[in-house]
Amino acid sequence: METLNQIQLLAVLALPVVLAITVHEAAHGWVANRLGDHTALMLGRVTFNPLKHIDPIGTVLVPALSFLFAGILFGWAKPVPVNQRNLHHPRRDMALVAVAGPASNLAMALAWGLAIQGGLLLWATSQWVALPLIYMGAAGVLINVFLMVLNLLPLLPLDGGRVLNALLPPMAARYYSRLEPFGLLILIALLATGLLGGLLLPLVLGTLEWLPGAGIVKELFFV
């Protein structure tokens, strides 16, 4: 298959990116609601409506610019509000709420991988159906794996940081939580220096090996 140029890549990434971010944030809110905190539900954030989750700068402008100039998708959505005091078991449940986002990305990566397989099965008879399935499926696998790996980094305010904060002893967690205001600055610095891509790429490639359609994803995006 032909390698896509950057404009084509942005076109096939658009829907998978919107879904990846929307379902990720909705998953946080849904799990929080199940565990006792109804804040996100009352604010309309437990929804697949992307307009409720999209941040014009973090979800649209920054990812587009980082992809065009650095070759890496980097951005953020509006965080889902969670009131820890409303949770049944605050520290444990905060970890579960945090894990829900990356878990949803893994589920979507599997679903997009199956879409690739469906496209390959249709290739001989209906290429006009197969081609969009394959390209968009590959984009869906890649973006969801990337978001999962990125969000599992043990750095606040990322989900991995939330999980680590919940696992640390209370005193250590209090000190660790003081780093949260600097988390985004650290990520931007890692992105600007190229260290973020160098850190994430091996983890993304390693994760892809376990998913259907991995060969197609590598052929389209890593050749």
Percent of the residues in the chain that have a pLDDT greater than 70, as a whole number: 92
pLDDT band for 165, please (50, 70, 90 cuts): very high
Token pair 């065009």 is at which residue?
68
Residue 160, pLDDT score: 96
Name which residue leads in pLDDT, 127 or 107: 107
Write the pLDDT tens digit of every residue in 93-102: 999 999 999 9
Residue 44, pLDDT > 70, answer: yes
Amino acid letter for position 52: K
Write the pLDDT tens digit of every residue in 32-41: 999 999 999 9
Amino acid letter for position 149: V
Residue 223, pLDDT score: 67
Residue 7, pLDDT > 90, answer: no
Mean pLDDT lowest for which of 36-40, 102-106, 141-145, 182-186?
Answer: 182-186
Q: How far, in Å, CA of 48 to CA of 56, rounded? A: 17
Residue 6, pLDDT > 90, answer: no
For residues 132, 134, 140, 143, the Cα torsion angle rounded to the nearest 10 degrees is -110
Length of the chain (residues): 223
Q: Please list, in sequence order, all residues whose beta carbon lies within 8 angstroms of the beta carbon of residue 76, skipping any fewer than 6 positions away.
A: 55, 58, 59, 62, 184
- Selecting among 2, 25, 180, 219, the annotated active-site residue is 25
Q: How far, in Å, CA of 159 to CA of 96, rounded? A: 10
Residue 166, pLDDT score: 93
What would the DSSP string read from start to end of the chain?
-PPP-HHHHHHHHHHHHHHHHHHHHHHHHHHHHHTT--HHHHTT-SSS-GGGT--IIIIIIHHHHHHHHHSS-----PPPP--GGGSSSHHHHHHHHHHHHHHHHHHHHHHHHHHHHHHHHHTTT-HHHHHHHHHHHHHHHHHHHHHHHHHTSS-TTSHHHHHHHHHS-HHHHHHHHTTGGGHHHHHHHHHHHTHHHHHHHHHHHHHHTTSTTHHHHHHHH--
219 catalytic residue (yes or no) = no
Name which residue leads in pLDDT, 74 or 119: 119
Residue 77, pLDDT score: 84
